[in-house]
Amino acid sequence: MNPLERYAPLVDDPEAFRAACQRPLPSVVRVNTIKATADRVAAAFDTEGVGYEPIEWHDGLFALAERGPGTTWPYFHGWVHGQEEVSALPAVVLDPDPGDRVWDACAAPGSKTTQLSAQMGDQGLVVGNDSNLGRLSALRHNAERLGVTNLAVTNQDARNFSLKPFDFEAFDAALVDVPCSCEGTCRKNPTALEEWTIDHVRSVTGVQKSILSRAIQATKPGGTVVYSTCTFAPEENEAVVDHALQTEDCRIVPFDLPIDTVPGVTEWDGATFDSAVTETHRIYPHLNDTGGFYCAKLEVTA
């Protein structure tokens, strides 16, 4: 079964949706403001003859015409980092302040983690956690190349994350970009569809619910938790957020995104979800020529 077919009822133009999923994904880089500015990166690309176009909604993203991000000297010097366009959204939505304490629950290989550090001016504290010790090496490498100094790396199961190593009791904010079935990455990783099974979707939702619950518990009242995935499956998106609304002290915060999205769904496969999930966002590849994505913003209420 092609998993894309099960989502045809959710999209406005199923044919355009399927066609977009078959096209290669544009190569995008994020400017690392710890080391450079967008103007300096643009000048370096001009000097090196690297074709690029600015991404309209974010002045620190460039779409490259041909060359991959790892083939340019600004990449090696840590001026830019290869990052899918929609992957930059969660950190923008979280919008941490310099000096905040932020937990990235599933951090490796570090694109969003290092973006958070840059947004915070490399101040405060970002705790980049991952349960996979091997993937943490990529996180540490990327942080070093990008000049990040406000990062603490931990190797814990996010479902049972402990704050004991730290001298504070709660985070100001948390980013929860959970492991998922990855259907939305099919434009850069076709095996995501070839290896897809409904059993995997159903099995991973328990992990996702537990990680999101722990993030809410570990964040102070009034703090923000952003939940995101790169899948279209409501079981991994709205159903997980709905579970948090029922079991944890939190509420959905409405927010706008600078790209085209559609609201979260309230019904799927016989299940119904809290009407507030319509304030979350679904991003389909044919809407903005990106990967697929889902994003929700929560406030801890007690």
Catalytic (active-site) positions: 230
Residue 59 backbone class (left: φ over 0; alpha: ψ -120 to 50; beta: rest): alpha
Residue 25, both tokens: 């994904």
C-alpha 29/C-alpha 54 separation (Å) is 10
C-alpha 231/C-alpha 39 separation (Å) is 34
Report which of 199, 230, 225 is spatially closest to residue 111, judged by C-alpha positions.
230
C-alpha 34/C-alpha 121 separation (Å) is 7
Give the Å distances, CA to CA, from 1 to 67, 85, 182, 282: 34, 28, 16, 22
Residue 164, both tokens: 């004991």
* Cβ atoms of 271 and 277 closer than 8 Å: no
Report which of 159, 156, 160, 199 is spatially closest to residue 181, judged by C-alpha positions.
199
